[in-house]
């Protein structure tokens, strides 16, 4: 046999060795009284992007966690290369070439970024000494592929949520996995970062790697996927080639019916006089000279790219971070807000972007979380808790957003990510705010849950509340907001209203270019 033939045979043998499949058959998972998965079949082929979609609580993340060894299925089989396997923990899944990118970044805040990327799979020299140069070179390439320019020696805890998400993506890619589970990987990313991620996913496909992709953004599913599996209430609804199903059909399968594509802002007669005002607000090194006002019944949008300072403005208003100058006024009265408790006393509420870090207490009950920000609603004399009032209010407010739960006394970390977001949202509704600041209120929640959030926003506006909405979802900004302030690198670049609120003007101002309403 010639040398060329030998090389060819070796290459073929190598391809055979590398080829693989992952399957689930009749997978079931029960949490107490809740059947999270009901006899679900699922499979992943080599070199494909297989999407999983469904409403919050449909079983998407539960399916991935079973396949990753993070939780144990109640019954059913998991097969790798048609051989049944038992995975009791994630390290065993990694041994089978499976990596996981979680919906909420799992990071070591006190360690360097480089250490976070290679945690659990450090590169070593033959002498078993850690090869820092090799890791640094590989990390630089990974970050370049993702379009990131971040100092690897920096602490992970100093990064924004979206940057942490990108680092977790880089960590999964650095493990040489054959299959990568991605649970809402773009929830915190800008459009440019999403484009970079999609390019990388296509590169991975071309090398024979597979992606299992969960997202509530159905346009992404159409763009990046080869097949889609649809779940509803723990049941397998169907599995389709992506070319054979439309977005409207996906939505209908997910919710068991049809729905309007989007709820727009209902017309509300706005007061002529501003009710809430921000004047020359600055936080040294973060944002400067921000001024805007909001009228009763108005939904005021804040748009911009990641790092523009949107979240920090909300945090400065709410007393989480210190302002270096400027003032906040409510109904003409200057407020002295030095802490969130000061903001709450003045009827200002903030639903934060980072729901697990700032929005909820994961290991506390839903009832505790729902009433935490408004203790005066549930306390008797001598500050004893009125358990009946706590229960009634929790049921009333969780029902408002149709939160899927087994019991109001279960811990929040037992809920899906979208239902955790709903708990974070209703907690602040219970404070009955006059000014409600929503920072990415629909991040990581499904189309049905989004409709509930939009309905609540409309109701609050009709009640005469001031709603300030920060969103990276352009369609929300364009359809729900009466006016929009656009940010770029800590500066206000435009305030748009009426017909000026369009995609071109928002994106132009978000990239730092002048519009006809610049700095208005």
* Tens-place pLDDT, residues 173-224: 787 788 999 888 887 777 777 888 888 888 888 888 899 999 878 888 999 9
**Is the four-CA dihedral 146, 148, 150, 155 of positive or negative sign?**
negative
pLDDT band at 474 (very low <50, low <70, confident <90, very high): confident
- Over the chain, what is the mean pLDDT? 84
CA distance 112 to 105: 15
CA distance 62 to 52: 11
Residue 466 or residue 123, greater confidence: 466
Q: 442 to each of 101, 424, 446, 447, how far by Cα in Å?
A: 20, 11, 8, 9
The mean pLDDT of 111-130, rounded to a whole number, is 82
Task: State the alpha helices, DSSP H only, in 294-446.
Answer: 310-318, 340-345, 366-371, 387-400, 417-429
Query: Which of 3.40.50.300, 1.10.357.10, 3.40.50.1860, 3.30.300.30 would CATH assign to domain 260-347+434-520?
Result: 3.40.50.300
The mean pLDDT of 90-96, rounded to a whole number, is 85
Structure tokens of 191? Answer: 């459009």
Predicted confidence at residue 262, as pLDDT, reads 53
Predicted confidence at residue 492, as pLDDT, reads 94
503 Cβ neighbours under 8 A, 6+ residues apart = 474, 478
CA 411: distance to chain centroid? 20
* pLDDT value at 8 more than 80: no
pLDDT band at 330 (very low <50, low <70, confident <90, very high): very high
Closest CA to 333 of 404, 435, 238: 435
Closest CA to 461 of 476, 480, 441: 480
The mean pLDDT of 224-232, rounded to a whole number, is 95
Residue 423 or residue 169, greater confidence: 423
pLDDT band at 57 (very low <50, low <70, confident <90, very high): confident
Element (H, E) at 60: helix 60-67
CA distance 307 to 323: 17
Closest CA to 49 of 200, 251, 259, 246: 200
255-307 residue pLDDT tens: 776 544 456 667 777 878 999 999 999 999 899 999 999 999 999 999 987 77
Residue 348 or residue 34, greater confidence: 348
Lowest-confidence range among 108-112, 336-340, 461-465?
108-112
Ranges for all domains in the chain classified under CATH 3.40.50.300: 20-255, 260-347+434-520
Predicted confidence at residue 258, as pLDDT, reads 52
Closest CA to 355 of 473, 188, 216, 469: 188
Q: 391 to each of 114, 368, 370, 395, 407, how far by Cα in Å?
A: 46, 10, 10, 6, 10
345-404 residue pLDDT tens: 999 999 988 777 677 788 888 888 888 877 877 887 667 888 888 888 888 888 887 788
Predicted confidence at residue 74, as pLDDT, reads 93
* pLDDT value at 2 more than 60: no
The mean pLDDT of 91-108, rounded to a whole number, is 81
Predicted confidence at residue 170, as pLDDT, reads 83
Tell me the pTM: 0.59
CATH class, domain 20-255, is: alpha beta
Predicted confidence at residue 412, as pLDDT, reads 86
DSSP-derived secondary structure letter, 379: B
Measured in residues, the chain has a length of 520
Predicted confidence at residue 1, as pLDDT, reads 43
The mean pLDDT of 124-146, rounded to a whole number, is 84
Structure tokens of 164? Answer: 């942490």
Other C-beta atoms lying within 10 Å of the C-beta of residue 50: 21
Residue 316 or residue 499, greater confidence: 316
């Amino acid at each position: 046999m010639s040398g060329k033939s030998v090389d060819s045979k070796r290459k073929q043998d190598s391809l055979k060795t590398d080829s693989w499949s992952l399957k689930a058959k009749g997978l079931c998972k029960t949490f107490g009284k809740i059947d999270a998965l009901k006899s679900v079949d699922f499979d992943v082929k080599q070199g494909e992007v297989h999407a999983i979609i469904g409403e919050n609580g449909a079983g998407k993340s539960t399916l991935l966690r079973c396949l990753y060894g993070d939780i144990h299925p109640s019954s059913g089989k998991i097969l790798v290369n048609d051989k049944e396997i038992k995975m009791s923990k994630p390290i065993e899944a990694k041994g089978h070439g499976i990596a996981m990118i979680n919906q909420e970044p799992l990071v070591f805040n006190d360690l360097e970024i480089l250490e976070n990327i290679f945690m659990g799979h450090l590169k070593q020299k033959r002498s078993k000494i850690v090869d820092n140069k090799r890791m640094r070179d590989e990390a630089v390439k990974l970050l370049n592929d993702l379009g990131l320019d971040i100092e690897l020696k920096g602490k992970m805890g100093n990064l924004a949520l979206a940057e942490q998400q990108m680092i977790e993506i880089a960590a999964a890619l650095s493990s040489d996995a054959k299959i990568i589970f991605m649970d809402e990987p773009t929830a915190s990313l800008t459009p440019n970062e999403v484009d970079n991620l999609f390019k990388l996913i296509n590169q991975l496909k071309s090398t024979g790697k597979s992606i299992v992709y969960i997202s509530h953004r159905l346009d992404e599913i159409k763009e990046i996927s080869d097949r889609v599996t649809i779940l509803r209430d723990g049941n397998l609804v169907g599995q389709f080639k992506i070319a054979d199903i439309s977005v409207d059909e996906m939505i209908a399968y997910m919710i068991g019916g049809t729905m309007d594509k989007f709820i727009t802002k209902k017309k509300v007669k706005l007061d002529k006089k501003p009710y809430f005002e921000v004047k020359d607000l600055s936080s040294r090194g973060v944002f400067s000279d921000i001024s805007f006002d909001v009228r009763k019944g108005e939904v005021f949008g804040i748009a911009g790219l990641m790092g523009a300072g949107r979240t920090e403005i909300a945090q400065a208003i709410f007393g989480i971070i210190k302002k270096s100058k400027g003032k906040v006024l409510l109904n003409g009265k200057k407020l002295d807000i030095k802490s969130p408790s000061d903001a709450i006393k003045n009827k200002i509420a903030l639903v934060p972007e980072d729901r697990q870090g700032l929005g909820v207490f994961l290991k506390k009950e839903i009832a505790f979380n729902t009433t935490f920000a408004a203790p005066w609603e549930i306390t008797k004399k001598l500050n004893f808790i009125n358990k009946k009032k706590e229960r009634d209010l929790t049921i009333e407010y969780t029902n408002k957003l149709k939160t899927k739960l087994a019991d109001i006394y279960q811990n929040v970390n037992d809920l899906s990510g979208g239902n955790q977001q709903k708990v974070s949202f209703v907690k602040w509704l219970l404070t009955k705010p006059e000014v409600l600041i929503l920072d990415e209120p629909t991040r990581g929640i499904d189309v049905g849950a989004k409709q509930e959030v939009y309905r609540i926003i409309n109701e609050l506006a009709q009640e005469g509340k001031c709603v300030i909405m920060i969103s990276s979802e352009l369609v929300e900004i364009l359809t729900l907001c009466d006016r929009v302030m656009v940010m770029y690198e800590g500066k206000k670049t435009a305030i748009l209203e009426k017909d000026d609120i369009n995609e071109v003007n928002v994106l132009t101002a978000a990239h730092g270019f002048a519009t006809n309403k610049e700095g208005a």
